[in-house]
């Protein structure tokens, strides 16, 4: 599955990032050596482990949090009841990224994890690329376009409403921000990380709040 995603990105002349559970000098599985070389030439191959380190089960689980952190959202295509994909999904939710899942046949064991994520409300159902882009807020384009004219100026539209709903000292959950701002929850979950990248919001133990470095206020 991972290899297919990388090959698809490379075939479309798009950038792709491979996060390894071993040193970057080690190809795992061995049959992916050529693929990893292509990724290094057209994208990035990264690892938090030094060269010569071999892959291990616990390293794959640790690696998954990096995969979740590097993306605007995670799409779980297939996942068993207990799987590495569900581990990545948990990291995605913990980081405030958008979590999505592809529904599958109810008789398929490889779709059990996806259905659990959908039933619990942790993940949004997606069945096409268009739905993925819609759920992630067009991969950050909305916020970039909203602030392009003013450089470091205030966000506009949904981003501004979400920003104004954030507390100055107390952190709020995405659900609370959605209620306060009137912005749909999945949109809030997509915008909060973008506001964080723009230096306007930050995550605390209690939830999301305005960044201490944010100088813009809605009443100015």
Tell me the per-residue pLDDT of 101-145, one tens digit each, with 9 for 90 and over.
999 999 999 999 999 999 988 898 999 887 887 777 654 444 444
Helix axes 2-11, 33-42, angle to 10 degrees: 50
Q: Residues with Cβ < 8 Å from 135, sequence gap 6 or more?
A: 73, 98, 100, 124, 126, 186, 190
| Number of separate helices (H) and strands (E) present in the chain | 10, 7
Host domain of residue 169: 139-210
Task: Name the percent of the chain lying above pLDDT 90.
Answer: 36
CATH code assigned at 175: 1.10.10.10
CATH code assigned at 19: 3.40.50.450
Which of 88, 105, 136 is the last residue before a domain boundary?
136
Which of 78, 110, 136 is the last residue before a domain boundary?
136
Are 182 and 217 contacting, i.e. CB atoms less than 8 angstroms apart?
Answer: no
Q: Cα(47)–Cα(94) distance, rounded to whole angstroms? A: 21
Helix axes 157-165, 174-181, angle to 10 degrees: 110
Number of structural domains in the chain = 2
Tell me the mean pLDDT in the region 172-200.
86
2 CB burial (10 A radius; 0-12, 13-18, 19+): exposed
Q: Is residue 219 part of a domain?
A: no
pTM: 0.63
Residue pLDDT, tens place only, 57-90: 889 888 999 999 888 889 999 999 888 899 899 9
Same domain, 23 and 117: yes
- Listing DSSP states for 53-120 in one string gives PPP-HHHHHHHHHHHHHTSSEEEE----SS-HHHHHHHHHHHTT-EEEE----TT-GGGHHHHHHHHT
The answer, yes or no, to whether residue 23 has pLDDT greater than 90, is: yes
Same domain, 66 and 161: no
Same domain, 68 and 161: no
Confidence of residue 146 (pLDDT cuts 50, 70, 90): very low
Same domain, 20 and 121: yes
CA 212 to centroid of chain Cα atoms: 24
Confidence of residue 49 (pLDDT cuts 50, 70, 90): very high
Confidence of residue 95 (pLDDT cuts 50, 70, 90): confident
Q: Cα(96)–Cα(87) distance, rounded to whole angstroms? A: 15
Phi, psi dihedral angles at 88 (to 5 degrees): -65, -40
Same domain, 105 and 155: no
Same domain, 54 and 69: yes
Tell me the mean pLDDT in the region 148-156.
49
Which of 39-53, 134-148, 189-203 has the largest mean confidence? 39-53
Q: Is residue 216 part of a domain?
A: no
Longest dimension (CA), the chain: 59
Average pLDDT, the chain: 83
Same domain, 121 and 41: yes
């Amino acid at each position: 599955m991972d290899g297919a995603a990388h090959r698809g990105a490379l075939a479309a002349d798009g950038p792709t990032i491979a996060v390894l559970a071993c040193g970057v000098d080690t190809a795992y599985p061995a049959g992916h050596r050529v693929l990893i070389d292509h990724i290094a030439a057209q994208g990035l191959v990264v690892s938090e482990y030094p060269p010569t380190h071999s892959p291990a089960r616990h390293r794959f689980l640790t690696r998954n949090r990096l995969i979740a952190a590097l993306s605007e959202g995670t799409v779980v295509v297939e996942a068993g009841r207990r799987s590495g994909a569900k581990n990545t999904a948990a990291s995605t939710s913990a980081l405030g990224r958008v979590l999505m899942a592809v529904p599958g046949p109810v008789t398929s064991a490889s779709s059990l994890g996806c259905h659990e994520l959908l039933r619990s409300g942790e993940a949004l159902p997606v069945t096409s690329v268009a739905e993925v882009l819609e759920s992630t807020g067009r991969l950050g384009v909305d916020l970039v376009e909203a602030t392009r004219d003013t450089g470091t100026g205030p966000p506009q539209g949904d981003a501004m409403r979400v920003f104004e709903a954030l507390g100055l000292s107390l952190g709020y959950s995405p659900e609370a921000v959605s209620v306060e701002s009137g912005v749909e929850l999945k949109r809030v979950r997509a915008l909060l990380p973008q506001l964080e990248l723009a230096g306007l919001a930050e995550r605390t133990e209690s939830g999301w709040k305005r960044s201490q470095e944010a100088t813009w206020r809605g009443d100015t």
